[in-house]
Amino acid sequence: MTAVFSLSDVTLGYDRHPAVHHLTGSFATGSLTAVVGPNGSGKSTLLKGLIGRLAPLDGRLERNGLRQSDIAYLPQQAEIDRSFPISVMDTVLLGHWRTIGLFRPVTRAQRRQAEEALLAVGLDGFGRRPIASLSAGQFQRVLFARMLLQNCPVILLDEPFTAIDAKTSADLLRVVVGWHGEGRTVVAVLHDLDQVRENFPDTLVMARAPVAWGATGEVLRAEHLFRARQMAEQWDDRAPVCRRGSR
C-alpha cells in the first residue's frame, strides 16, 4: 500500500525541545486517521510538520510526491480575523485559489460550485452574509465549504469540532467521512473518543511521543490512554541532549 506521508524516527519541536519525539510510521493513501492525546501532546505540531511549516529537528519526513497545493489544512481558528468585512461567498470562493490565483476572474460554474458547497455544509442561502455575523459553528461550516472547493487529495484538520455543537459536528463529520469515501487521505486531531471509535478506521495516540498507532479498535485502549496522560506535559528546561536516533 502506498503512503502519503512516511515518517522515520521524526522529531519535531521548538527551541530544541521535542514536541513530537521519535515518531515512525506512515499515513497510507486514502486512510482516515484520528490523532488523539492530551493538550500539549504534540498533535498540532505533528500537523505543522506534515504540511511542512515546521522542519523536523531529526529524522526523515517524506511527502511522497505531494505538492504544497495538494494539501488542505484547517488550523485551530486563532489566525483568522473574523471581523474582516468579507462575505461568506467570497470566503468560500477562495477555495478555487488553485485555478483563480492572484487575479483570474471567478467563472459562473465556479460560483455554482461554491453554492453547492454551501448547500453541502448546511448553509444554503448564506452567500451574501458578512462572516462577522456568523456563529462559531456556522463559520466552521464556511471553512469546510472552502475545503470542499479546494478539492485536495490530502486534508489535515486540527481540532475541527472543538467548541462546536453536536448537530454541526455531526454534519461536518459526514463531510469528512464523505472525503474518505472519495479516496482522499484525511488526518484529524480530535478529542471525542466515541466519535473516533465510530468513524475513524485508524488512530494515533500521542503524548509528545507516540503511544500507539494502528487500527482504532486496537489502539484506543484504556492502558494507552492512561499512559498518554502520564507522559504529556513534561517540558524540562534542563533536559539533557537526546542520544536516540540518527545523530
Partner 1 sequence: MDVHAALIQPFVEFEFMRRALVACLALSVGCGPVGVLLVLRRMSLVGDALSHAVLPGAAIGFMIAGLSLVVMSLGGLVAGLVVAILSGLVARVTPQREDASFAAFYLISLALGVLIVATHGSNVDLMHVLFGTILAVDDASLLLVVSIATLTLFTLAVVGRALIVECFDPGFLRAVGGPGAVVHFVFLTLVVLNLVAGFHALGTLMAVGLMMLPAAVARFWADEVATLAATSSAVAFASGYAGLLLSYHADLPSGPAIILVAGGVYIVSVVAGPRGSLWAKFMPRRHLEA
Binding interface with partner 1 (CB under 8 A): 51, 53, 68-69, 71-73, 75, 79-81, 84-87, 91, 94, 97-98, 102-103, 130, 150
Q: How far is the CB of 30 from partner 1 (least distance, A)?
A: 21
Helix (H), strand (E), coil (C) string for the chain: CCEEEEEEEEEEEECCEEEEEEEEEEEECCCEEEEECCCCCCHHHHHHHHHCCCCCCEEEEEECCCCHHHEEEECCHHHCCCCCCCEHHHHHHHHHHHHHCCCCCCCHHHHHHHHHHHHHCCCCCCCCCEHHHCCHHHHHHHHHHHHHHHCCCEEEEECCCCCCCHHHHHHHHHHHHHHHHCCCEEEEECCCHHHHHHHCCEEEEECCCEEEEEEHHHHCCHHHHHHHHHHCCCCCCCCCCCCCCCC
Q: In the complex with partner 1, which residue's Cβ is closer, 105 or 183?
A: 105
Give least dist CB 225 to partner 1, A: 30
Smaller CB distance to partner 1: residue 65 or 85? 85
Q: Residue 37 CB, nearest distance to partner 1 (Å)?
A: 22
> With respect to partner 1, which residue has the nearer C-beta, 102 or 166?
102
How far apart are CB 193 and partner 1 at their closest, in Å?
28
Cβ proximity to partner 1: between 84 and 226 the closer is 84
Minimum CB distance to partner 1 smaller for 122 or for 210: 122
* Shortest Å, Cβ 160 to partner 1: 14
- CB distance 1 to 29 below 8 Å: yes
C-alpha cell at 52: 511542512
Name which of 55 and 222 has its Cβ closer to partner 1.
55
Give min distance, CB of 24 to partner 1, in A.
Answer: 26
How many whole angstroms separate alpha carbon 203 and alpha carbon 33? 5
Between residues 80 and 215, which has the closer beta carbon with respect to partner 1?
A: 80
> What is the nearest approach in angstroms of partner 1 to the Cβ of residue 217?
33
Find the length of the chain.
247
